[in-house]
Structure 1
């Protein structure tokens, strides 16, 4: 079979998927805050275009993202290992393996933080609705999903980073 006629990927061991080479698309000073996060994009391996799936590991002290909410996209997380703290604009809660949480668009701002001494591993699932924006209630940043599927970041007043 030639390279152009490769059999599509049907199943893998999730932890063997390649990690993203760039840990975050946030600009500094936020980029470095994501250094304790490793994402393995699983949905992309299978050619999924309607929703994304990541196998994510947070090292101790790691953050899943800045505290945020989406204007159009729903998100769902399922904890596989460890005890992350779910931080929302309504409070905090420690999660454990087998727990899950969902965040509808325009809902509660959220993030996971690993305040434990062991890695946290979870699945994150989100749709890829065009025209989405990320709102960040604590940090001076705004995100807009471009037509090319890449996030563009500005200060809340519109100035570029």
Structure 2
């Protein structure tokens, strides 16, 4: 589809998956290896926020446990039964459940501990200058014009 084409609608599950499955450095990328993202917002030229249709294969995490400095995030479970894990506890989610994470709020991620895929919508803003912090891992992230840049917490590159 040409970049300047105006799209009215698409069938979400028929859209191509993100080319690069993860930006995490190699020590961490394996934990999200079974994550499949379909970037839907980009298809419509959305620039203020992103929308992904994401599937987690069994045993996969949505991300490392993290929080954003500026970005708000929202997830809506479509299929499957993931575990929502935050720095405040764990909750079993089901289709129709949703969760939101304000900037600088609870660290969070989803884990698929079942033997079936989990599919959900994830929506987040694209606020410039956002940073990600990872309370359990030696990792920090900064949003750059080229995407996420990761270093160790002391600033050492991976």
Q: TM range, normalised to the smaller chain?
A: over 0.9
CA distance in 1, matches of 2:3, 2:131: 37
Equivalent residue number for residue 14 of structure 1: 12
Gaps of 5+ in 2: none
Q: Distance in 1 between matches of 2:52 and 2:3?
A: 26
Secondary structure at the aligned position of 1:30 is classed as: helix
d(CA) in 1 for partners of 2:28 and 2:84? Answer: 19
Residue in 1 aligned with 2:104?
Answer: 106
Q: Determine the C-alpha separation between the residues in 1 that align with 2:27 and 2:126.
A: 26
Secondary structure of residue in 2 paired with 1:63: coil
Q: Cα distance 1:108–1:6, how it changes in 2: closer, same or farther (>3 A)?
A: closer
Q: How many residues get paired?
A: 158
Q: Secondary structure at the match of 1:31?
A: helix
Q: CA offset at residue 5 of structure 1?
A: 9.3
Q: CA RMSD in A?
A: 1.4
1:154 aligns with 2:136: no
Corresponding position of 1:118: 116
- Which of 10, 26, 29 is the aligned partner of 2:27? 29
Paired with 1:52 and 1:95, the residues of 2 have a C-alpha distance of: 22
Give the distance between the partners of 1:89 and 1:6, measured in 2 at CA: 42
Gaps of 5+ in 1: none
Q: Which has the greater radius of gyration?
A: 1
TM-score normalised over the length of structure 1 = 0.95
User: Which runs of at least 4 in structure 1 moved beyond 6 Å after TM superposition?
Assistant: 3-6
Give SS of 1:19's match: coil
Matched residue of 2:27: which SS?
Answer: coil
- How far 1:7 moved relative to its partner? 3.8
Q: Deviations over 1:18-56 (max 9, x none)?
A: 101111001110112111100000000110000000000
